[in-house]
Amino acid sequence: MQKTLRDSAALRWLVLILISSLLFSTYWFYDFYGGIKGLMEREMGISSEEYGRIMSSTTFANVIGMIILGGIILDRWGIRLAGLVFGGLSFLGAIISAAAVAGWFGDDKSTMLIWSITGRVLFGIGMEVVCVMVTRTIVKWFMGYEMALAMALNIGFGRLGTAMGMAVAPDLAAGGSISPAFSFAAILIGISLVFFIIYIFFDLKIDKQRSESGIVTEGEVDEEKFRFADFRKLITNRSFIYIALLCMVFYSAVFPLLAYAPDLLVNKYGFSYEMGSQGEFAMFGSAVLGTAFIFVLLLIFGLSFSMIPRSLKKNGHKLLSFMVISVLFLGYVYILRDVFSEWLVNGPKTASLIPMGTILFTPIFGSIVDKRGKAATLMMIGSALLVFAYLSLSVFNHVYLGYLGLISLGIAFSLVPAAMWPAVARIVAENRLGTAYGTMFTLQNWGLAAFFWGIGALLDFVNRHRLSDIEAETAAYDYTIPVLMLALLGVISAWLAYKLKQADKLQGYGLENPGITQ
Ligand SMILES: NCCCC[C@H](NC(=O)[C@@H](N)CCCCN)C(=O)O
């Protein structure tokens, strides 16, 4: 068969980097609010419920079908045009939000609130369709190759955006105004759109090659009109129903919590919003140096290890690698103990370690799905871990159990997405993936709308007798009930993953089989 651009590994990964920049910037904008919740409340004069309303507004247009419409448009217009239009929409929404908090439309609370919500609504439509578009692009380039790993790395870029947004936003707002944090996040989206424009050249070229070699092209996909019968077939497919419901319930338990996690740590365990005595830059410097050091050691280890002849390695090499990597990791923690001791008492920085951890774990689990399969089982384990995480963070009060809860949450947040998104591409044909992901994201947005707002509203409600003390900073929010409510979502997720495994056995999509076929 004639080769196309996607048969070159280097080009596949380059394309992944180009399109993932959009995920990095839009996830940054989506999640950086969590790092400055307290500051936003003080500067804009809003309550927890109103903060929840702004976060929840990201989903307002999506709950009434905007992503499905976006997915259908994507399936008809193709990646290039849809990417530009919806990427541009997310940029516009971000600019409006930034202008709102800068007081461009007026500096009274209700004007700021209305325009912040307007910006988030537009941003929400754009970012979700961008996410569908990026996922479909990965399928186009990686199907039959390392698709789960590519999706996991792509999610890793997004998580890096989430983590950095949460961790850096308080520093950007440190001058006493939240406005720079908003402008910076909006500019990032603009820069990533430039990367997407570069990608368009590769997309044009591969489509030309695919049509020359008789493979179905974007153009042919576009010509196929969206048929309602396809949509009906999709939403009556048992495996698709379970995976879509799992997507809704699982993400409702995770994304909203991230928007409150820094505040939870500050209020429950007495963490702070400010950094300690050592100074940001000294700490940042030692973190970068320490990380560079560990990479050099790993490189030396990798190189010397690859020189050992195969016959000598046998089974001992796995144990040896594990031991060396553990020692290096402990050394890393030891060298950076000052950095960690300051970070682990800071709410936004500690919370940012959750998405940060997933950057490492999601590709590891993605690679396992590629090579060994077990996607449905991994989704069950991930959901069960969520239950443990939320019990630790709600009914118990010990800070070490809190850390353990955060680690479990990070692992769950890596396991389920790493297994879920490639699994959809097994259940649904490539030219209907836009509609399938769009449907899943719509359900997900229903859940997010309820829980982004619901946590804030419930928080205000269960703390209603001490709201004035909380405002005067003489009392703290009690997060027990809102987090316990999320543990229940974990139980439902585990059940849905189990039902998915059963449905797959009947329908034979092979979700438990390895993904690499070429
Ligand atoms: N290849 C990407 C697959 C989707 C990953 C998934 N993203 C979503 O669910 C988005 N609808 C919402 C993103 C919100 C960002 N905080 C994910 O796991 O991130």
Per-residue HEC secondary structure of 345-412 comes to CEHHHHHHHHHHHHHHHHHHHHHHHHHHCCHHHHHHHHHHHHHHHHHHHHCCCCHHHHHHHHHHHHHH
Q: What's the burial of 436, exposed, middle or buried (CB within 10 Å: 0-12/13-18/19+)?
A: buried
190 alpha carbon to ligand 1 midpoint, in Å? 20
Residue 95: how many CA atoms within 13 Å on its side-chain side? 9
Pocket test for ligand 1, best of 19, 56, 251, 254 (most atoms within 8 A of CB): 251
| 425-484 confidence digits (pLDDT tens) | 899 987 777 788 889 999 999 999 999 999 999 999 999 998 889 888 889 999 999 999
State how far the Cα of 67 lies from the Cα of 65, in Å rounded to an integer. 6
Q: Determine what percent of the chain is predicted with pLDDT higher than 70.
A: 86
Q: Which ligand 1 atom sits nearest the alpha carbon of residue 154?
A: 1
Residue 214 has pLDDT above 90, yes or no: no
State how far the Cα of 123 lies from the Cα of 117, in Å rounded to an integer. 10
Neighbouring residues of 323: CB distance < 8 A, sequence distance ≥ 6: none
182 alpha carbon to ligand 1 midpoint, in Å? 21
Alpha carbon nearest to ligand 1 atom 15, residue? 27
Alpha carbon nearest to ligand 1 atom 2, residue? 135
Is the CB of residue 32 below 6 angstroms from any atom belonging to ligand 1?
Answer: no
Alpha carbon nearest to ligand 1 atom 14, residue? 27
How confident is residue 317, by pLDDT bands cut at 50, 70 and 90?
low
Q: Do 153 and 18 meet the contact criterion of CB atoms below 8 Å apart?
A: no
238 alpha carbon to ligand 1 midpoint, in Å? 22
Closest alpha carbon to 418 in 347, 351, 479, 363 = 363
Q: How far apart are the first and last CA of the chain?
A: 13
214 alpha carbon to ligand 1 midpoint, in Å? 33
State how far the Cα of 202 lies from the Cα of 297, in Å rounded to an integer. 36
Q: Which amino acid is at 462?
A: V
Tokens of 274: 């400010």
Is the CB of residue 158 below 6 angstroms from any atom belonging to ligand 1?
Answer: yes
Tokens of 27: 């996830």
Q: Do 376 and 512 meet the contact criterion of CB atoms below 8 Å apart?
A: yes
Residue with tokens 């600019």: 95
ipTM of this model?
0.96
137 alpha carbon to ligand 1 midpoint, in Å? 14
Closest alpha carbon to 393 in 268, 273, 493 = 268
| Sign for the pseudo-dihedral over CA of 241, 243, 244, 248 | positive
Is the CB of residue 255 below 6 angstroms from any atom belonging to ligand 1?
Answer: yes
Neighbouring residues of 401: CB distance < 8 A, sequence distance ≥ 6: 392
Alpha carbon nearest to ligand 1 atom 7, residue? 131
Q: Determine what percent of the chain is predicted with pLDDT higher than 90.
A: 54
310 alpha carbon to ligand 1 midpoint, in Å? 41
**Can you give the pLDDT at residue 22?**
96
104 alpha carbon to ligand 1 midpoint, in Å? 31
247 alpha carbon to ligand 1 midpoint, in Å? 10
Alpha carbon nearest to ligand 1 atom 5, residue? 155
Is the CB of residue 135 below 6 angstroms from any atom belonging to ligand 1?
Answer: yes
| 361-405 confidence digits (pLDDT tens) | 888 888 888 888 899 999 999 999 999 999 999 999 889 899 999
Residue 272's DSSP bridge partners are 346
How confident is residue 2, by pLDDT bands cut at 50, 70 and 90?
low
What phi and psi, each to the nearest 5 degrees, are found at residue 199?
Answer: -60, -35
131 alpha carbon to ligand 1 midpoint, in Å? 7
